Structure formats: structure tokens, C-alpha cells
Amino acid sequence: MKHAYLHPRDELALTLDRIYRFKMTTTSGGNLSILDENGDIWITPARLDKGSLKPEEIVHVKKDGTVTGPYKPSSEYPFHKAIYACRPDIRAVVHAHPVSLVAFSCAKKTPDARITPLVHGLCKQVAFAKYGIPGSEDLGRKLAAHFAKGSDSVILESHGVCCGGATLHEAYTRFETIQWAAQSEVMAAQLGKPKYLTDAQLAFAASHLPKLASFKRGAMTIREKELRCKMCAFVERGYRQGLFSAATGALSVRLDAGSFLTTPHGFDRISVNPEDFVLVRNGKQEAGKEATHAAPAHAAVLAAHADVGAVITACPPNCLAFSALRRAIDTRTLPECYIFLREVGLIPFEKSISDYDMIARQLSMRHPAAVLENNGIMVVGEDVLSAFDKMEVLECSAGTLRQCLPLGGCTPMGKKVIDDIIHAFNLPK
């Protein structure tokens, strides 16, 4: 879906539906707006069901304040207006009450965007606005003061969150990303003390962004077409299963001995198309496209292990909690986890973005999963289904360890049980 081609009414209705569908707002909460090129504001209406909003129910508020249509604009219209007035670069605003961010708003805290380089790049410093009565000019002033200072993501005390962007898609991605990070931060805090990236580590990440040379590709084989469609289905499935987010989740699948297909950089995981995937051959990407920043690491793993057919880098919420704790995930929770994942590795942050040889030594069919410190997880499989399955099992295992805590903690399967599993399933030592 190319958002730039949508009328504001359609884009707002679609985005609100997505927020509701993925449980990031209630029927009555949340509002979104777009400021168009004429200075008019398109905004979600007051008091209508957010679970079934239609494009024709979006309210059009003209620059002179005239409202067209039968509905009233959202009661939070004053703060949308105040943000646009102080930040000419912001052309869309998303406000809602997702549970983890409301938890931060009630605890009078902000989530730490330094959990991964990507979250920091999208959300930077998250600000905190003092309480104001919903719908009041006072709340608008308090919120706009933080946007005026340069924040794009602001927690509203005892209320929720507000994110701005140059487009609605950017504001939405920022909103979803900070909610995603907040969720993992809460999970990590249940297990220990999460760690965050320093300025030096963020600078290291910024100076190690991969730049692949390009090559002019030839005709597409039937196998490549088939693989592109299959990858599309798995990326969308990853999003719907809560394993990929709008901005996180990279998948590479081997095409032949010297080439693989990978996800593009900076795309929305819910609406990827077969033509979006990028062919990488001998370390070069097909001309006119930009591969995911995970591509060089994936290339190293695929080159080192002929039996690996697919590689995934992702930040599922429970796994991201372990990544922020800089702790490996114990797979001795149930036989399936140990059989699928064996012992999970832990890759230091700097290595995870610069030492591709080390990543290739750590990941193999014998050791198919690793936690990347403050950078998510990486899993491999003989094909895309196998890698996807391993990611799911790893996320379940991480969730199990967390949910065991209030029950008295996890007692991992002992050595004898593990030895019996190795023997019974003929697992390589």
C-alpha cells in the first residue's frame, strides 16, 4: 500500500483500523489527523466507534475553522492544532492509549528509546507532558511545548502518547515503535535491569551502516518469483503474529549458491509486495533497491553454511526484553524448545553490527538462534518455514521464562532430561 497515493480520509480510516485491530486503542480512545497542503486538517470524529470507522466519517476542518460534514472533530482537536502551529514540519499526528505507554504515563516515566539503534533513530528522546484535562487548550499548550523543543513522541501524564511525523505513516510508525519498545521495557524490568545504548554505541552503529554496491540484474526465474510471493506471505504473517513490527523484522532466503532474496530497507511489514524484495548476489544488491541493513550479516551466515536456507533478524517483544537485558534465552523450558533451538548464543552489541564473520561462526543449523545485545535476535533454518518456526519458538520460550517469575521461577529441565532428549531425537552433540 503506497500511503502517498491515499486521500487523507482513507489513510486516516485505514490507520485507525490498524491501531484498533492490533489492540493499541479502545473503541472510544485515540484520534489521528493530517494537515494537508491547503492548511486544512482532516481528523477522526468525536464519539464514534473506533473499531468500525468509515472514511466518510472523517471530519474536514478548513483552515478558517469551518467544519464540513455531520460529525464533530475529535475532542482532542485543540492539541492537534497546537502541534501543527508550533512545528511546520509535522503534517500528521497520532494519539492513542496503548497499554504499555499508558503504564509509563501513570508511572510518570518515559520509555528509553536507546533500547535499540532503530528505536532511537525513530523516536529519539521521548518527552513527558504534565497532566492536562483531556480536550483542553491547557493540554494543547503543555504538549505543544515539548514538540516545539523538537520532540516527536510525547507521553501525556495519566493519559497516553502523542506522536508526530512528516506523514501519517511516519507518525504511525513512530507510535507503534515506541509502544513496542515500551512493552519490551516492561517485560525486561520484570526479569532484571535492562541496559541501554550509550552515545558511543549509537555513534558506533551510525558509523557502521552497511553500504552495498549494486549490480544490474537479469531476467527473473520461476523459482525467484515463487520465493518472492512466499516471503511476502511470511513477512505479513510475522506482523500479524506480533513477531515483526512496522519497522522491524528482516528475512533473507537463499535463491541459489551465490544469491539470496532479502527484505528491503525501511518498508512497512504489513504491506510488502513481491516486487519489493531485493536480490543480493555476491555481496551486491540489485540496482534501484536498498536491502535491509541486516543483509551483510545474513550473507555471511548463508555463505558459511550451505545447509542454512533462511535467516531472520527480528525484535519480538519477549526476545527484545532479553536483548535489552543482554542475556541469552534458556531453552530448557520444554523439549520442543531445546530440540529446535539447542543452546542460544549471545552476541555483543558492537559485534552484532560489525563482525559478520563472528555472527557466521555463532549461527548454524547446530546453533540456530542468538540474542543480539540491544539489537533483537537472529535465527536460521533450512528454509523460510523452519526459520520462522524457530523465531516463534524462541519468542514463546522467552515469554515462558518471564511468565514463570510470579509463579516462583522456571526450573529448567535437568542434565539427565536433556541427555535423554539428545539421545531420543538423535541430536548432534
Q: Closer CB to Zn ion, residue 160 or residue 368?
A: 160
Instruction: Identify the three-state secondary structure at position 154.
Output: strand
- The site map against Zn ion for 273-312 (x = CB under 5 A) is ----------------------------------------
Nearer to Zn ion, 160 or 296 (CB): 160
Nearer to Zn ion, 160 or 309 (CB): 160
Fill in the DSSP letter of residue 244.
Answer: S
Put the strands of the sheet holding 41-43 in their side by side order.
67-68, 59-61, 41-43, 31-35, 92-96, 160-165, 153-156, 127-129
Number of residues that bind Zn ion (CB under 5 A): 1
131-170: which residues touch Zn ion (CB under 5 A)? 160
At closest approach, how far in Å is the CB of 189 from Zn ion? 25
Shortest gap between Cβ of 96 and Zn ion (angstroms)? 7
Find out whether 249 and 243 touch, Cβ atoms under 8 Å.
yes
90 dihedral zone (left: phi>0; alpha: psi -120 to 50; beta): beta
C-alpha cell read off for 143: 504538549
Nearer to Zn ion, 32 or 279 (CB): 32
Closer residue to Zn ion (CB): 160 or 238: 160
Q: What is the spatial distance between Cα 339 and Cα 349, in angstroms, rounded to a whole number?
A: 27
**What three-state secondary structure class fits 318?**
helix
Q: What is the nearest approach in angstroms of Zn ion to the Cβ of residue 165? A: 18
Q: CA-CA distance, 278 to 258, in Å (whole number)?
A: 14
> In this complex, which beta carbon is closest to Zn ion, that of residue 75 or of residue 271?
75
Q: Which residue number, 29 or 345, has a Cβ lying nearer to Zn ion?
A: 29
Q: Which of 164, 23, 204 is nearest to 97 (CA)?
A: 23
Helices 8-21 and 168-191 sit at what angle, rounded to 10 degrees?
10
What number of CA atoms fall less than 13 Å from residue 219's CA on the CB side? 2
Q: Which residue is nearest to Zn ion (CB)?
A: 160
Q: What is the chain's percent helix, strand, coil content, to nearest 5?
A: 45, 15, 40
Cβ distance to Zn ion smaller for residue 96 or 371: 96
- Residue labelled with grid coordinates 468500525: 52
* SS3 category, 187: helix
CA distance 301 to 308: 8
Q: What's the closest the beta carbon of residue 243 comes to Zn ion, in angstroms?
A: 28
Binding footprint of Zn ion on the chain (CB under 5 A): 160
